[in-house]
Chain A
């Protein structure tokens, strides 16, 4: 059974991310874009924290990348998946790269085409989970039935974002804790005596 359906959701839970880049490495193993990873993994501020955040395509309901594409090369299928640009149409102009509020699309030089996460269409259509969410050791990237996850995890899924003047609704969710997560960790504040 194809796993791109209403039941299943993709959840990004940065609180759990351990920065191991298994997702980045595994993405590049996929059949449709061999050797190229579509995942961004950022250290937020290594001086102050070990916090890392994976970014995959959020699959917007009304994707900005498609709106700004002058060649109409970016399509969203009925199941809500926003696909890589269509090669015959894509002119490599980078509008999509520049406009995406999450910074997802990559126009690969030499290829002159934008590629991005397509929820591992080749895998999900065969009933397999996306590669990154399958391997992620801490399940910071998670692909699972929504009902199961939304009841199980303490963090809550967020599918609407306001970024500057943009308001976007997305197919994928970011898991948000109900308490504030400290972004600055300082061992010198956790020890006895001064230094």
Chain B
């Protein structure tokens, strides 16, 4: 039974998060590294090049990698301190099994045998699909590919999904609808050449910091920057036009823009007629989206809406970039389509300085979804219900169509099914749903009901607390492989150090488990990441995300290869849609009408304030890694409530006051942070923390009907001032940890100079 094996305090005491404050051996000496390994940062979809310094099988520091073309040595603070996730006191070295006194270190063989037996038991009792797999796209393409194959052929379940369901699926759905392919349309160098850059729902400076420099290079040339976000984020601070719209009103704005482009005849008619379908229906859908209507829906002034439409319509070159701000909504896919509509209407795509892209959030958010663990996809971005696609994969995998499961349900739906008692077993790897899924209490209840759960991770995440067996897997730097960045650039992750103790790369664990489940024939030939990549190439070949012509050697030689790359003599495809050739069978792009609909939850008399959630630059996703790195915790130790002083005044709140925030799902108490950079009808909480500090205690399980992404960005809450004794003890502990990091005075050598 997956109740917590110990109290939460005991678990945190044993497994952390604790802080790693200094490199191995401390700051005293500066050891000469044995080697310097060129690889990439593990945090975020930018996948910056970085060099890791290694000594005695430990990562001891980093050196910027200035030759790597995407970031040219630049790194955000997560990249700078990423090396401290290695050699960490919380690192899992041994398999853990539940015993009388909670988690106990276990013999590897015994743990693996137990996992295989329990998977078979659950499936024998409740059917093959009663065992689900939830995985994550911080893993390489090889691991992602193998996870997909392992779930389907190793375990034999259709119920496999991934944490990209909380990230890229709205963008993917919108892109496939419009273009027939799911990838940012342009290399980032096109941003520099754009005259107008439209950023909507993307906190670029904090979530994809390196992109900031690309935008500034365009602005140095005189480009105009338009930023659409309920908050004036750091990138918006100097923007030429800031549109702080109401949470959840994104497609009202872009529908209104399309209305004006049509009214003012700023449409590229030749492009629309020759290269697209569906324009008439889409224009009909925005017929009534006048500036006045748009203003009412978005809370933006008519003049600002008109100025944005004028700038966008009259631009010679442009880029539109968006991210989770518009995608984390119950109309996320429609928001994406409505953005694409204003790109297609002006015909500015598929050429230098003209294009569109979603900014991938997770490390391998792009590649992970293409090849493996999305419930409706097979490698190469293939459709799991398309008979031809299935036949191709069956051939590569050496299985029959009957052996290949059909489409399963999505991540939140898997947890819903666990809660409903329909799914009884779970393998969880590289995913922390207890922090990252909406309605935290519901997720915890669900996990408590599991008959058996096995987890693979390098740290004991809050979700792993519910596991019966935890198997230590590999950090990114402990294995080689490939990832695919936000640009669609396939890059090489190089191994810097070995796994500590009994820990193993996730793929090795899955191959071993498959053998124990009697399915070794599908997996026996995998002896290295490279051998998995070779099969991935074949499996993706002929799909839209075609890696057929990509080799490890070619990636290193070219500093990355943009897919599609069908043959070994093909250089790759940095810019999609050149010559307005789209990837639907008829070669045309499709407009998609996005009639307005409100968010699933809107403010009312009981819950009168909008809540939106997001990231800070110092942390990554559920914080499993970054909440363990001293410097990052020092900069931002705990969440807070961002609130406009005019709203704060109504509740008698001052800076630092304890404020209780309550939604229909739950409540939490945080310190108030007064800022004029947020709409006064909206509050914001960063989401990287767990338990009583989890923003997702407040968010709802409202899903987009198409993408099944949860609506993290729009909730209704009420707030009230409370007393400091209501602060969670966890908050005080995090403040103590930040103090510890700050006062970690290194033992400086006696004589420095």
Q: Is A113 an interface residue (CB 8 A)?
A: yes
Inter-chain CA distance A62–B405, complex, in Å, is: 75
When the two chains form their complex, are residues A139 and B213 in contact, meaning their CB atoms are under 8 A apart? Answer: yes
Q: Which residue among A26, A36, A115, A191 has the maximum number of chain B CB atoms within 10 Å of its CB?
A: A191
When the two chains form their complex, are residues A18 and B206 in contact, meaning their CB atoms are under 8 A apart? Answer: yes
* Given contact pairs A134-B74, A153-B220, a sample of 16 additional A-B residue pairs in the complex whose CB atoms are under 8 Å apart: A18-B209, A22-B79, A35-B746, A85-B753, A108-B748, A110-B745, A134-B66, A137-B74, A137-B205, A137-B212, A187-B230, A187-B644, A187-B679, A191-B299, A192-B299, A192-B301
When the two chains form their complex, are residues A50 and B645 in contact, meaning their CB atoms are under 8 A apart? Answer: no
When the two chains form their complex, are residues B212 and A16 in contact, meaning their CB atoms are under 8 A apart? Answer: yes
Inter-chain CA distance A115–B752, complex, in Å, is: 9
Pick the 10 closest A-B CB pairs, nearest first.
A35-B746, A35-B27, A137-B209, A18-B205, A138-B212, A34-B27, A186-B676, A18-B234, A25-B80, A195-B680
Contact of A32 among B22, B74, B752 (CB under 8 A): B752
Inter-chain CA distance A38–B302, complex, in Å, is: 47
When the two chains form their complex, are residues B77 and A21 in contact, meaning their CB atoms are under 8 A apart? Answer: yes
Q: Is A166 an interface residue (CB 8 A)?
A: no
Q: Which residues of the partner chain A approach B237 to less than 8 Å between Cβ atoms?
A: 49-51, 185
| Smallest Cβ-Cβ distance to B72: which chain A residue | A134
Q: Is A164 an interface residue (CB 8 A)?
A: no
| Smallest Cβ-Cβ distance to B209: which chain A residue | A137
Q: Is A190 an interface residue (CB 8 A)?
A: yes
Count of chain B residues with a beta carbon within 8 Å of a chain A beta carbon: 70
1/0 per residue, CB under 8 A from B, across A25-61: the answer is 1101101111110000000001111111000000000
Q: What are 27 A-B pairs with beta-carbon distances under 8 A?
A: A16-B238, A25-B77, A25-B80, A36-B748, A46-B673, A51-B237, A86-B753, A111-B748, A135-B74, A137-B74, A137-B209, A137-B210, A137-B212, A137-B213, A138-B212, A153-B220, A185-B676, A187-B230, A187-B676, A188-B680, A190-B232, A190-B242, A190-B244, A192-B302, A193-B299, A195-B680, A195-B681
Q: Which residue among A20, A21, A136 has the maximum number of chain B CB atoms within 10 Å of its CB?
A: A20
When the two chains form their complex, are residues A187 and B74 in contact, meaning their CB atoms are under 8 A apart? Answer: no
Q: Is B677 an interface residue (CB 8 A)?
A: yes
Given A15-B238, A18-B206, A187-B679, residue A87 in contact with residue B753 (CB < 8 A): yes
Inter-chain CA distance A113–B753, complex, in Å, is: 10
Q: Which residues of the partner chain B approach A32 to less than 8 Å between Cβ atoms?
A: 752-753
When the two chains form their complex, are residues B752 and A20 in contact, meaning their CB atoms are under 8 A apart? Answer: no
Inter-chain CA distance A29–B205, complex, in Å, is: 23
Q: Is B75 an interface residue (CB 8 A)?
A: yes
Contact of B677 among A20, A26, A34, A187 (CB under 8 A): A187
Given A20-B205, A187-B244, A190-B244, residue A137 in contact with residue B76 (CB < 8 A): yes
1/0 per residue, CB under 8 A from A, across B270-299: the answer is 000000000000000000000000011011
Q: Is B646 an interface residue (CB 8 A)?
A: yes
Q: Which residues of the partner chain A approach B677 to less than 8 Å between Cβ atoms?
A: 49-50, 185-187
1/0 per residue, CB under 8 A from A, across B80-102: the answer is 11000000000000000000000
Contact of B753 among A83, A108, A136, A152 (CB under 8 A): A83
- Chain A interface helix/strand/loop/mixed: loop
Q: Which residue among A26, A47, A50 has the maximum number of chain B CB atoms within 10 Å of its CB?
A: A50
Q: Is A84 an interface residue (CB 8 A)?
A: yes
Q: Which residues of the partner chain B approach A19 to less than 8 Å between Cβ atoms?
A: 205, 234, 617
Inter-chain CA distance A23–B751, complex, in Å, is: 25
1/0 per residue, CB under 8 A from A, across B736-753: the answer is 000000001110100111
Inter-chain CA distance A137–B205, complex, in Å, is: 9
| Smallest Cβ-Cβ distance to A149: which chain B residue | B220
When the two chains form their complex, are residues B213 and A35 in contact, meaning their CB atoms are under 8 A apart? Answer: no
Q: Which residue among B28, B62, B745 has the maximum number of chain A CB atoms within 10 Å of its CB?
A: B745
Cβ < 8 Å to B, chain A residues 147-195: 152-154, 181, 184-188, 190-193, 195
Given A20-B205, A87-B751, A185-B676, residue A31 in contact with residue B30 (CB < 8 A): yes
Give A194 Cβ to nearest chain B Cβ, in Å.
10
Give A69 Cβ to nearest chain B Cβ, in Å.
14
Q: Is B392 an interface residue (CB 8 A)?
A: no
When the two chains form their complex, are residues B301 and A47 in contact, meaning their CB atoms are under 8 A apart? Answer: no
Q: Is B12 an interface residue (CB 8 A)?
A: no
Give B293 Cβ to nearest chain A Cβ, in Å.
12
Q: Which residues of the partner chain B approach A18 to less than 8 Å between Cβ atoms?
A: 205-206, 209, 212, 234-235, 617
| Smallest Cβ-Cβ distance to B233: which chain A residue | A50
Q: Which residues of the partner chain B approach A34 to less than 8 Å between Cβ atoms?
A: 27-28, 30, 746, 748
| Smallest Cβ-Cβ distance to B746: which chain A residue | A35
Contact of B81 among A25, A110, A181 (CB under 8 A): A25
Give A3 Cβ to nearest chain B Cβ, in Å.
12
Give B99 Cβ to nearest chain A Cβ, in Å.
40
Q: Which residues of the partner chain B approach A184 to less than 8 Å between Cβ atoms?
A: 676
Give B610 Cβ to nearest chain A Cβ, in Å.
12
When the two chains form their complex, are residues B746 and A192 in contact, meaning their CB atoms are under 8 A apart? Answer: no
Given A137-B210, A139-B213, residue A26 in contact with residue B75 (CB < 8 A): yes
Inter-chain CA distance A20–B205, complex, in Å, is: 8
Give A31 Cβ to nearest chain B Cβ, in Å.
5
Give A121 Cβ to nearest chain B Cβ, in Å.
10
Give A86 Cβ to nearest chain B Cβ, in Å.
6
Q: Which residues of the partner chain A approach B108 to less than 8 Å between Cβ atoms?
A: none
Q: Which residues of the partner chain A approach B244 to less than 8 Å between Cβ atoms?
A: 187, 190-191
Q: Which residues of the partner chain B approach A51 to less than 8 Å between Cβ atoms?
A: 237
Q: Is B300 an interface residue (CB 8 A)?
A: yes
When the two chains form their complex, are residues A152 and B205 in contact, meaning their CB atoms are under 8 A apart? Answer: no
Give A67 Cβ to nearest chain B Cβ, in Å.
20
When the two chains form their complex, are residues A192 and B295 in contact, meaning their CB atoms are under 8 A apart? Answer: yes
Contact of A187 among B66, B231, B301 (CB under 8 A): B231
Q: Which residues of the partner chain B approach A108 to less than 8 Å between Cβ atoms?
A: 748
Cβ < 8 Å to A, chain B residues 75-132: 75-77, 79-81
Cβ < 8 Å to A, chain B residues 573-616: none
Give A32 Cβ to nearest chain B Cβ, in Å.
6
Inter-chain CA distance A20–B78, complex, in Å, is: 9
Inter-chain CA distance A25–B23, complex, in Å, is: 13
Give B248 Cβ to nearest chain A Cβ, in Å.
15
When the two chains form their complex, are residues A191 and B300 in contact, meaning their CB atoms are under 8 A apart? Answer: yes
Give B678 Cβ to nearest chain A Cβ, in Å.
6
